[in-house]
Amino acid sequence: MKKATLALIIGSILSSVMSFANAATVIDAPNNYDPVFTSGESSLLENTALTVFQHDSAINNLQAQTDAEVSARTTLGNQVDGNKQAIANLGSTTKNALINNAAENEEQNKALNVLNGQIQVTGTQVEGNKQAIANLGSTTKTALINNATENEEQNKALNVLNGQIQMTGAYAKSRTDAAIANAENNKAALAKTNQAVAAHSAELANHESRIDALEANTGAGNSFARLKNQVDDNRQRASAGIAGVAAMANIPQVTQGATFSVGAGAGTTDGESALAVGFSARATENTVIKASVSNDSQQNFVVGAGAAYQW
């Protein structure tokens, strides 16, 4: 292809030179000028023209071959693209077919597993039915045996009852005699109880008269009243004191990181109440002292103090 291109260029240059030479001759020569060439020039022109013709023919043939090759390449490229698309389509179709086949196989496996499970369940149910039938037969047999045993026991009970009915007359007479004897014994015991009650009543009346006489002579009634009042007063004072102690115990103590603390507390119990104030201090790192005082509703004061050493 490079040689044909070179020949084409050379031919074009020679053709241009000849055309220029002929044009110059025509311009310089008169209208009736007839150029005369030597034999060498004529031969050179003929060879040049033949070479140009051959090169032009070769160029045309080469162009035709080039066009054919381009067309073939285009056709081949189209075929390659078509094959690529066909291969891609085939791959996609094959992939979809494989996926569908795998899904179908999975569904079939699931169906087989379900079927196997149903078969196993059916087998289990059959065995259960066999066992239920066997149990039913055993239960029926046991019920018949129990029924026969129960009938036998009922017959025995009827026989015993008949014997007891026959013995009822004598038994009733014996029980009546025993009841009469028990009634006589109870009557005698009741008489003794009444006598004891009467004796106790007389003794109680004697004690009451003696107590009345004692109270009249010594004024014991007033003494009992004073004793009761004293007990009630002591109870109130004790409850008030407990309230005071409770108030003192509920005063918060100095906490870690502090040196001195002042607080108050309150307490109440059994209708009595108290208020308390107190302080606590950290004397050293390991020593705490505390003191408090309370006043209750009975106007009693309670004072307390304490110290603690910790390690």
> What would the pLDDT profile of 42-51 be if each residue is shown by its tens digit?
677 677 767 7
pTM of the model: 0.31
pLDDT of residue 217: 63
CA dist 230 and 236 (Å) reads 10
Residue 98 has pLDDT above 70, yes or no: no
CA dist 282 and 262 (Å) reads 12
Lowest mean pLDDT among 26-35, 120-129, 205-214, 237-246: 26-35
**Cβ partners under 8 Å of residue 307, min gap 6:** 283, 287, 288, 289, 290
Interior/surface letters 47-77, b for 16+ CB within 10 angstroms, e for the rest: ebeeebeebeeebeebeeeeeeeeeeeeeee
pLDDT of residue 21: 46
Mean pLDDT of the chain: 74
Q: Which residue has the tokens 């085939």?
A: 90
Is 309 in contact with 286 (CB distance < 8 Å)?
yes
The residue ranking higher by pLDDT, 280 or 137, is 280
Amino acid residing at 107 = E
Is 283 in contact with 290 (CB distance < 8 Å)?
no
Give phi and psi for 268, each to the nearest 5: -155, 145
pLDDT of residue 278: 96
Please compute the mean of the pLDDT values over residues 32-52 and round it to a whole number. Answer: 63
Residue 113 has pLDDT above 90, yes or no: no
Beta bridge partners of 282: 288
Other beta carbons within 10 Å of 215: 14
Closest among 257, 254, 238 to 291, alpha carbons compared? 254
The residue ranking higher by pLDDT, 228 or 288, is 288
pLDDT of residue 304: 93
pLDDT digits (tens, 9 = 90+) for 231-277: 988 999 999 999 999 999 999 988 888 899 999 999 999 899 999 99
Under the banding of pLDDT at 50, 70 and 90, the label for residue 296 is very high
